[in-house]
Structures are given as C-alpha cells and as structure tokens.
Structure 1
C-alpha cells in the first residue's frame, strides 16, 4: 500500500511534510531578500521581469492577480508595477510580516494573507492571472494544486509558472561546481554566504527527498500535469536569459556561470 507523501513523517518528529516545509521557509524569511534571485537588485532586472510578465499576461489594467507563495512580496510588487490588483498568499507568517512591511514602506495597496497553495479558500473564478515563482518544485501534491488554481481562475485566465529543475545538474553545471569546489578548497575562492541562510541544509535535503518533484521538476513534466488539470494551451518558455544575466551581476563568477546552465523556465497555462 502506497503511503501518501503528505503524511510522511520526517526528522524524527510528528510534523507532516507540509509542516516541515512551512517551518523551513519561515526560518529563511529574515534573510530571504538578501539573495540574488529573490529580491530585485537593479532596474535592469526589474525591466526583464516586467517584459516576461507582459509577454505572457499582458498589461494589468486593473485585472486581478494572485501571487502564490508570495514570500516577501517580490513578485507581488512587480505585478503591481504593471497595474494588476494583486493579492499575495503565503503560509509562512514571518514571510508575510516582511511582505506587509515592504508594501507599507513603498505605499503599495497589495493584499497579503496566509493560505495554503493547495487550498487557497478563494472563491471560484476570482482571478484573471496567477503567478508562481519557485513554488512548483516544492509541491507535495501538484495535481491537487493545479486543480485548485484552475478552479480560482476565470475563463480565459492565465497561470504563469516560473520555476526550474534544481536537482539535476547537467554536465556543464557539474563541471563548474567541481572547479569552484577545488578553488575554494585551495583558498583561491571565497565560499561566501550560503544561499539558504537561516536554515539547515540537512532539513532541506530531507524535505527535497520527499516532495513530488524529488527527482527534479522538468518543464515538460510540469506542463503535462497542467494539461491534465484542464489548462489549454500550455506553452513552455525557456527564454529567461535577460533575467538571469542581470541576476548574475550580483553573484560571484562561478555561481553565475553555473546558474546559467540550469534548467529554468516559465510555463504559461490558460484556462479555456
């Protein structure tokens, strides 16, 4: 008998996998915005994100948009820039505290509330657009999530998934990481701050081993699940070079080079 991933116990505790994921991201909240690839560090990167959203979603023009797993509100602010009426949902209160503070400081009218991406509690057909960044690869049950997102989109509504396979390193990325590790060991390269500050790498590896995409979230696999949920058309876009090029300016040479070889993508999925 297969045991549901949702009820898998980890780390010798009585926490469910979902509880562990929530706790992990709550621990990362304090330093989340310090990492390139999370917060926006240049106007060039901001424009690159705007171009991606405009390419797939069009201008906001007052349409309603949902930022799922909104974290500290980075994507919410980008969507607000474009004229969307934005709601950000996250299940980590520490993340939401920072998101609300950031919105107040910037004078934005973005609504943030706590909710589970698989059970948003939003009414049927209530949004024109949904955006997720780096959420899908962490999902426990993507089929349930995609069905929920389909439900809360209006007919003709658009879902944009921005994600990647952060598990399987290709040959070029493996070579880059090996060279970087050798140079660090020899003292020629500073390891710098860990990307996931404030959280245990052992906890991360344990969580990763038990999520649905533990073997890596490949674009075509995700696209296939979106089609099964009823979305059509579903289009994969791997042209994120402008975003990554601008993020790379704030990374050291080897990390920037390795990131450029990763399987990263955006997927547009439309509710008929």
Structure 2
C-alpha cells in the first residue's frame, strides 16, 4: 500500500529506494547483475556499440547505475560517464570500485524520474533493469528527452519479470521434478524470503505490474517524443554467458525469458 493511502509519509518510491539500498550488499554476487566472465563483458561491449557506437568522449548518463557495472562498461568504450542512483549504499560500492580501478566516473545521488540535470546536456542515456521499477514512466521518459542533446540516444536494457513463458514453465517443472528425484538440489537465493516478498509487493504496484513488455515500453517512448525507436531482442550472447554461471535450470530459463534492449533518439 502506498503511503498516500494509509496516512504514512513512506510511499512506494521510498520502498523501492529502501529495497535497493538493502540489496546493495549482495548485488554483485548475482550473475546477471555483476559480470562474471570476459565472454559476457565482450557481449555487453558488442550490444552497446551496436546501438551507440564508440564513446569518443561523448557524455553519458547511466541511470539506476547501482554498483557501476554498466557505467564501467561505458567508460571502457570511451564515454565520459556520470552514474546516478538514489540508493546511497549502491553508490558507495560504485565509487569504491571506480577508485580502485582509477576510473574518472562521477557517481551522483539522484532520481531517474527527476534527475535535476540541465537541459540538452548528455549525448547518451543508459539504464539496465530500471524501467520495470518506474512508478511514472511517462514522466521519466519526458525527463530523459529533456536532458538529452538534440540527436542524442537512450539505450534501455530491461525485461518482463512477471509473465512466464511456456518454456520457462516447462523448465520450472523439470527443475522441480529433478529435485524431487534427487538429481538436483535447490539453489540458495541471494536474498532472504522476506526480501523476496518485498520485491513481489513492489512489483505488484509499479506501472509495469503486468510486465514490462518491450512493445509497451517502446510505445511510451514514442508518446514522450522519442524517434527511431527500435527493439532488439537478440540478447543471446549475454544470456548464454550469464547462464554458465547459474545453475542448469536457472541458466536455461534465462535464455528463454523476454529480455531486450531498446534504442530511441531525440530529434535533432
């Protein structure tokens, strides 16, 4: 329940911030969050450069930057990167990693739906697994359009984490059967049952509570004024690399999930 309806000042957005602040300590332990192989790193480079090209010193704002994984990939490709997150524990880890690797990435505390950044300021905006959490994506997309330079691009990497495909259901049944027969053991989660329940509660109340389908996200980008909106569902190289560091069944599920990249541009 949102704070506005129960008399509390602690609303859904505060819950989201608190949740990711708690997740910061274990965030980099999960395949799919951190990068566990050079194979995956190279696959990310190919995805980013396919849509954005080489950095060549262009300015990039990485929203919901977390512990800095995408920010550092963008830095490697040659972008002048600013990472922004509203969970201070995430930023602390990102700053520590950047300092240890002598990277010149600025990590700032900020809200992806209201960045407070200047108009027409960035060449590129990136984000990974942010859109599904947005309370008001229409406002967020309008904000991103505002801070992009004319001709600038946004690259969104996200997925539908609600609807389960036929193949995922089949994989889940096979995993359950193999555990019952003693051929496999349940994989320990990276966070507690309580945190899992908080995650489900948040997911049920955000804008994309029915699942952030690529086509729905693309439609909202167009309505916000973005042009040349393209959906790229070819995430196979990244997912195969991630799957090698997951258990058998979870790795198989990753490959068949509805995950995607969307690029859109601001008119010149």
TM-score range (shorter-chain normalised) is over 0.9
Counterpart for residue 240 of structure 2: 245
Q: C-alpha displacement at 1:193, in angstroms?
A: 2.4
What's 2:127 paired with? 132
Do the aligned partners of 1:31 and 1:198 also contact (CA within 8 Å) in 2? no
CA contact (8 A) 2:26 2:190 kept: no
**Compared CA separation, residues 99 and 199, structure 1 to 2 (3 A):** farther
Q: Deviations over 1:24-47 (max 9, x none)?
A: 001100010010011111111111
Residue pair 2:160, 2:211 contacting (<8 A) in 1 also: yes
- Given that 2:62 and 2:70 are in contact with CA atoms closer than 8 Å, whether structure 1 keeps it comes out as yes
Alignment deviations for residues 224-272 of structure 1 (CA, whole Å, 9 cap, x no partner)? 0000000001000011111111111101110011111100100001001
CA contact (8 A) 2:3 2:9 kept: no
Say if 1:8 and 1:17, in contact at 8 Å, map to a contact too: no
Please give the secondary structure, in 2, of the residue aligned with 1:61: coil
Structure 1 residues 196 and 146, CA gap change in structure 2 (3 angstroms): farther
- Find out whether 1:232 has 2:210 as its counterpart: no
SS in structure 2 at match of 1:233: strand
Which position in structure 2 is the counterpart of 1:106? 101
Q: Which residue of 2 aligns with 1:85?
A: 80
CA distance in 2, matches of 1:6, 1:59: 42
CA distance in 1, matches of 2:165, 2:4: 30
Deviation string 1:10-34 (CA, Å, 9 cap, x unpaired) is 8x96520000000000110001001
Distance 2:236 2:79 in 1: 25
- Residues in 1 aligned to 2:242 and 2:222: alpha-carbon distance in whole angstroms: 31
3-state secondary structure, aligned to 1:53: helix
Matched residues in 2 for 1:95 and 1:176: separation? 33
Counterparts in 2 of 1:13 and 1:254: CA distance versus 1, 3 Å: farther
Within 5 Å, which residues of 2 pair with 1:161-200?
161-196=156-191, 200=195
* C-alpha spacing 1:32/1:197, structure 2 compared with 1 (3 Å): farther
Q: Does 1:210 align with 2:205?
A: yes
How many residue pairs get matched?
267
Tell me if the contact between 1:28 and 1:199 (Cα under 8 Å) persists in the aligned partners: no
The runs of 5 or more residues in structure 2 that have no matched partner are: none
What is aligned with 1:153?
148
1:32 matches 2:42: no
Contact 1:160-1:266 within 8 A present in 2 as well: yes
- Equivalent of 1:219 in 210, 214, 217: 214
Give the superposition deviation at 1:196: 4.0
Q: Are residues 222 and 51 of structure 1, via their aligned partners in 2, closer, same or farther at CA, if it must alter by over 3 Å?
A: same
* TM-score where L is the length of structure 2: 0.95
Question: What is the alpha-carbon distance in structure 2 between the residues aligned to residue 25 and residue 178 of structure 1?
Answer: 30
Q: What secondary structure sits across from 1:89 in the alignment?
A: strand
